[in-house]
């Protein structure tokens, strides 16, 4: 059931799991997660669990979304690139905490659904594109923040190139067959600093646009 009580319970559980950033928690509270999951899973929308969104893809558990968003150290002046729009949930949380989100998804059908949700929720600071996010979004670079929702063995060079000096990128690094590490990359005047955060499990970042057949 989707009640304010369920949302409040989710916030409490995130808080007790160690998410203390008040603006991140309130952004999560503002996004109706039930709109982003297939109808059959709506009763689980406010559980702290990952859910399927079609095309073999998954919406991360709220704890991971909150953790990643908090690690980005956002503010309203920042321009963010998100790779792997999926359902659009993570992007919606980001949109409440920054100036503009540019989001790229390789499945046109998933992107079309996400776009509908963005317009329904009147999130006017989200710009979308169907394409291969591994290449980033050169025309809009540099980005103050980059958030990647799918794992890769190596960090794509184009993403490093498109990160502004002083910028932060958060991405899962590792293959599908072994554990992945959520990694924070900070770009400084002199190069890049890398920090391992927590172990995670994401779907892989794949090359090229997907040939959408059926969900």
User: What is the DSSP secondary structure assignment for residue 131, as one 8-state letter?
Assistant: S
Closer to ligand SAH at the Cβ: 133 or 174? 133
What secondary structure does DSSP assign to 161-188, as a single string? Answer: HTEEEEEEEEEEES-SSS-EEEEEEEEE
Q: What sign has the CA pseudo-torsion 214, 117, 162, 140?
A: positive
Q: Binding of ligand SAH at residue 90 (CB under 6 A)?
A: yes
- Whole-number Å distance between alpha carbons of 128 and 137: 10
Q: How many angstroms separate the first and last alpha carbons of the chain?
A: 25
Segment lying near ligand SAH (by CB under 6 A), choices 20-28, 57-65, 169-177, 180-188: 57-65
Could you tell me the smallest distance in angstroms from the CB atom of residue 175 to ligand SAH? 14
Nearer to ligand SAH, 84 or 167 (CB): 84
**60 or 183: CB nearest ligand SAH:** 60
Task: Examine residue 7 and tell whether it contacts ligand SAH (CB under 6 A).
Answer: no
Catalytic residue set? 60
96-115 binders of ligand SAH (CB under 6 A): 104-107, 110
For 30, 70, 103, 106, 199, the CA distances from 86, given in Å and listed in that order, are 19, 20, 10, 9, 21
Residues making contact with ligand SAH (CB under 6 A):
53, 57-60, 83-84, 86-87, 89-90, 104-107, 110, 132-134, 149-150, 203, 205-206
């Amino acid at each position: 059931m989707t009640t304010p009580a369920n949302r409040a319970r989710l916030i409490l559980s995130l808080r007790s799991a160690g998410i203390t950033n008040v603006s991140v928690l309130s952004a999560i509270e503002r996004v109706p997660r039930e709109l982003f999951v297939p109808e059959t899973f709506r009763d689980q929308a406010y559980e702290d669990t990952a859910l399927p969104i079609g095309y073999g893809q998954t919406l991360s558990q709220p704890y991971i979304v909150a953790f990643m968003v908090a690690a980005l150290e956002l503010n309203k002046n920042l321009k963010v690139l998100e790779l792997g729009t999926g359902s659009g949930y993570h992007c919606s949380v980001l949109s409440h905490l920054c100036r503009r989100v540019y989001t790229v998804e390789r499945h046109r059908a998933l992107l079309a659904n996400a776009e509908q949700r963005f317009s329904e929720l009147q999130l006017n600071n989200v710009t979308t594109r169907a394409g291969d996010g591994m290449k980033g979004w050169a025309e809009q670079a540099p980005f103050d923040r980059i958030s990647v929702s799918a794992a890769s063995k190596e960090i794509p060079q184009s993403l490093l190139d498109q990160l502004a000096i002083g910028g932060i990128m958060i991405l899962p690094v590792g293959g599908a067959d072994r554990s992945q590490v959520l990694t924070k990359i900070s770009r400084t005047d002199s190069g890049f600093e890398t920090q391992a955060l927590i172990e995670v499990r994401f779907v892989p970042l794949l090359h090229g646009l997907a040939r959408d057949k059926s969900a």
